[in-house]
Structure 1
Amino acid sequence: MCGEDGEMFVLTINQRDSRESGDRVEELLDLLSELPTLVPFQRSIGDEAIGVVQSAHVAVEVALAAIRERRWHIGIGVGPVNPPSTTTQLESSAQLADQSINDAEGFGLVYARRAVNRAQRSTERIPLAVEGPDGEAAAQAEAVLRLIAQIVFTRTEAEWSVLDLLVPGVRGQQKAIASALGISTQAVSKAIARSFWNEEWACRPAAARLLDLVSGPESLEPAGVPYNPRGV
């Protein structure tokens, strides 16, 4: 889902535990490499990665994939991103795919920086924040995303061994999964119920819909500060 005004979703993700477990950015980039992006996820500075997507659904998927790893702060910024000295939106979109994120500019990056900085300062269990022109919509999107993320965050490895074999929206998978894992269909059913997998996927579209609203009306003023990739 891409917003009516062509807004973009910038995800700035930095590591929480680099001192204890070392730099894991390359692992994150591998994890996200198959997802559709406007600007592929890439290292920005230090133990941080940034990417740009056009779909709110993909933004939700990226955020939850990072949450599953339990080692990332996630900031989502909603707003435009352009390469420097771009004269048209068409040229901008064509150039962004090959752009170094550190050379890009735009309010989407400003909002993502604000969001990840706030996620870093948060004492909440789920270090995720959303920022954009419509602050109320951003707060609502953040609340729903964090609730879904709480479900993802608390799953066990045994539950993930089942869930990773499931395809959303496809019926009759439990017998095949049970056979593949060497467990009973009842155990598969219990793992699905216990992990709230169906509830997660039912809520994902709501989170994406709220993210699409964060750009606000065209008359809403953008962020009033320049982008600083180091967040200082």
Structure 2
Amino acid sequence: MFVLTIDQRGSTGDRDRVPELVSELSGLSRPGTGAAFERSVGDEVQGVIADPGEVVDAALHALRSGHWYVGIGVGHVVLTPGASSREGSGTGFVAARQAVEAAKSAGSLVPLSVVSGTMGRDIRGGPAGDEGVRACANAEAVLRLLGRLVQERTDAQWRVADALRRLGPDKHGRQKQVARELGITEQSVSRTLIRSGWQEEWAARPAAAMLLEYARTAVVGPGGGP
């Protein structure tokens, strides 16, 4: 599993955004997988997710507003089914804490980090954690590229992108439907999607999820571990 620790940026001069984020993230993950997102301490949110695609969803959603530091820990997770993430332990939690602190030190980079919990040996049998560290760095690089796309999207671009996503992946003629819903031309929808990098984002999301899954295998072994 993956542990996400997400900390509010500039919280001392801002309102408490934790309840809003917890509600939004709860709608992105399937029930019964991992541990639901909840306030862990202060203005921080934590959750445990089994599916790497859902990790990508949660991370990019948090980055979208620009109000959060995102840390993703890849490592062993000890968590009783149905338990709160606050009751969990293992290297995944330690790695998530290190990751969110690294995100805070990212400077001008997208405030996201992926850190390996280095317990045990990597999949090549080499020094403990070497392959896991490299795999996490690769996943982080792709997620930061995607994060840059979502952070730079304008409100108008999000209006079109959100409308398109609500229709689901299997709808035909979706741009025409979005244009009708928003009261704009189909050509305007098309231009907006091109400028927003929407197609590039959704083409790259599976690659980010694949890299996270590879990182998990490198850190905890085939099968993903607990």
TM range (shorter): 0.7 to 0.9
Structure 2 counterpart of 1:152, one-letter code: V
Write 1 or 2 for the structure with the bigger share of helix. Answer: 2
CA distance in 1, matches of 2:139, 2:7: 20
104-113 or 161-170, which moves further after superposition?
161-170
Offset at 1:82?
A: 1.4
Superposition deviation, residue 218 in structure 1 = 5.4
Q: Distance in 2 between matches of 1:191 and 1:102?
A: 42
Unpaired runs of 5+ in structure 2? Answer: 119-131, 222-226
* Shift in Å, 1:138: 0.6
Are 1:124 and 2:108 counterparts? yes
Residues paired across the two proteins, number:
200
Asked whether the equivalents of residues 75 and 119 of structure 1 are also in contact (C-alpha less than 8 Å), the reply is yes
Give the aligned partner of residue 63 of structure 1: 59
**2:81 aligned to which of 96, 105, 114:** 96
Q: Write out aligned runs for 1:22-41 (5 A).
A: 22-34=15-27, 35-36=29-30, 37-41=33-37
Gaps of 5+ in 1: 1-7, 84-94, 220-232
Which position in structure 2 is the counterpart of 1:110? 94
Which letter maps to 1:184? T
RMSD: 1.5
Question: Cα distance, 1:175 vs. partner?
Answer: 1.3
1:48-85: CA deviation from partner (whole Å, max 9, x where unpaired): 010001000000000000011110000001122213xx
> 1: distance between equivalents of 2:61 and 2:144?
13
The 3-state SS of whatever aligns with 2:192 is helix
Residue 72 (structure 1) aligned with residue 68 (structure 2): yes
Letter in 2 for 1:116: V
Residue in 2 aligned with 1:229?
A: none
Residue 74 of structure 2 contacts residue 219 of structure 2 at CA under 8 Å; is this kept in 1? no
Moved more, 209-218 or 143-152: 209-218
- Counterpart check, 1:10 vs 2:10: no
**Residue in structure 2 matching 1:48, options 27, 44, 47:** 44
TM-score by length of 2: 0.84
Task: Note the C-alpha offset of 1:169.
Answer: 5.5
Q: Secondary structure at the match of 2:72?
A: strand
CA distance in 2 between counterparts of 1:127 and 1:169 reads 33
- Pairwise CA distance, 1:217: 5.9
Q: Given the two structures, how large is their TM-score scaled by the length of structure 1?
A: 0.82
**Identity, % of aligned pairs?**
46
